[in-house]
A and B are shown apart, each in its own frame.
Chain A
Amino acid sequence: MPGYTVTVTVRLKEGVLDPEAETTQRALERLGFEIADLRSADQFELDLTAGDADSARQRAEEMTERLLANPTIHDYELAVDER
């Protein structure tokens, strides 16, 4: 079966406060950089084998729903690449 890398990006839903991002932004500003906004996200790369790209995506989506993201506060997106 072909190998895939599914890249899962998990970020806070719009409107959910992100104190770590705010602190990081302030630190950049203290270093003299001008910045309008800063958002942070977690990224996971899953190497797996699957029959095709769709089933690779489906499995990664299930993993994301079950563990990697918390649907109360997170949105996520997936990108599938053949390995």
Chain B
Amino acid sequence: MTVAVVQFGGSNCDRDTVQALEHLGAESRLVWHEDGLPEDTTGIVLPGGFSYGDYLRAGAMAARSPVMEAVRAAVESGTPLLGICNGAQIGCEGGLTPGAFTTNRSARFQCEHVHVRVENANTRFTRHYEEGDVLELPIAHGEGRFEIGAERLETLGARDRVLFRYCDADGNVTDDANPNGSMDNMAGILGERDHVAVLMPHPERATLPGLGTTDGGNILRGFADP
């Protein structure tokens, strides 16, 4: 797989993502958004950061930038896409995934380690885990509270579109373990298509040795594996 990690002005997890993917043996490259997607792109990451300074709403500007037309076309033709943090906000703003990420319940930027439980291991992104596995992953966001209309919330649950829920270290999904007030503790979801996913925690910061946790590596591995 040749992964395009799309850089916007204000992206700041782009290099980390490339480094983590390369560590896992997945060929990847930084792609400046104005340059469009390379023709041999077989996977897309929308990385974390503060694209366009989070103007208007986090991800709102990047979601409407010209490169997203190419991203959408690639996704339509089956190219897997992973949106991480700001990339998740861009994915929801751009309609690749349902719902919206908005201001944390605390109204503060939160940078900490959290636990998430694997809710559905039968996806490209979670196939190297077992359902119920508890992962320790870093979060770093001010607008990570997942909101979705009640009707679509039910659809997400009924169709097993939830990848991860915030939980405590023992895997209990509780309000106390919900760092940002996300509906139903949702930390990561699938889009309409099975090869599209977004999540607020940072797997690329939990892949390389020496960073405290490597629990996120298998998310990137699952994404990048054929």
Contacts and interface: CB of A to CB of B under 8 A. Distances in A.
Contacts of B100: 70, 72-73
Contact of A17 (B92, B99, B145, B148): B145
A72 B181 contact: no
A19 B105 contact: yes
B198 to A, nearest CB: 14
A15 B60 CA distance: 22
A30 interface: no
Given A67-B60, A67-B64, A72-B99, A19 B106 contact: yes
Contacts of A70: 57, 60, 93, 100
A8 to B, nearest CB: 12
Contact of B56 (A22, A23, A67): A67
Contacts of B60: 67, 70
Contact of B148 (A18, A20, A22, A72): A72
Interface string B78-107: 000000000000001100001110111111
Interface residues of B, number: 20
Interface size class of A (residues with CB under 8 A): 10 to 19
A20 B56 contact: no
A66 interface: yes
Interface string A9-52: 00000001111101100000000000000000000000000000
A22 B103 CA distance: 12
B209 interface: no
B210 interface: no
Contacts of B105: 17, 19
A66 B68 CA distance: 14
Contact of B181 (A17, A20, A66): A17
A20 B107 contact: yes
A53 interface: no
